[in-house]
Amino acid sequence: MSFEHKLKPLAPVAKFRRRVLRHFVGGSALIAFSLVLGTVGYCYFGKLPLVDGFYNASMILTGMGPVNPLDCTEGKLFASFYALYSGIAFLAAVSVVIAPVLHRFLHALHLDEET
């Protein structure tokens, strides 16, 4: 997936909308994968019910912090590694979604430049 060079004209609005939609779907897929990974991990390693596992995974993924205390070592280790992964995954997903909008804005600023 490449963006147009700064010396090329802006992409048509229809192409830009498709690009934003593709990036949104990609970012959403990363978030969905991360939530499934966290939910399964909390249910398996932390021995939590499904709803509590999902709740913990979503709270960690968005940076809010854990909800249920974990008593077992495996659960604590999983929660630690998942928190590290989540910090990167959430920022990556947001970056993917914002990238086409930011590119279009910066591209529009360069249209008036002389080369």
25-43 tens-digit pLDDT: 999 999 999 999 999 999 9
Note whether residue 14 is domain-resident: no
* Residue 10 belongs to a domain: no
pLDDT in tens, 72-87: 999 999 999 999 999 9
What is the pTM for the complete model shown?
A: 0.85
Q: How many CA atoms lie within 13 A of 11 on its CB side?
A: 18
Domain-located, residue 9:
no
Do the domain assignments include residue 20? no
Give the total number of structural domains in the chain: 1
User: For residue 25, is it within any domain?
Assistant: no
Q: Is residue 82 part of a domain?
A: yes
At how many degrees (to 10) do helices 13-44 and 73-110 cross?
Answer: 170
Asked, for residue 37, whether it belongs to a domain, the answer is yes
What is the span of the domain harbouring residue 103? 33-110
24 found inside a domain: no
Q: What is the pLDDT of residue 58?
A: 95
Residue 46 sits in a domain whose CATH number is: 1.10.287.70
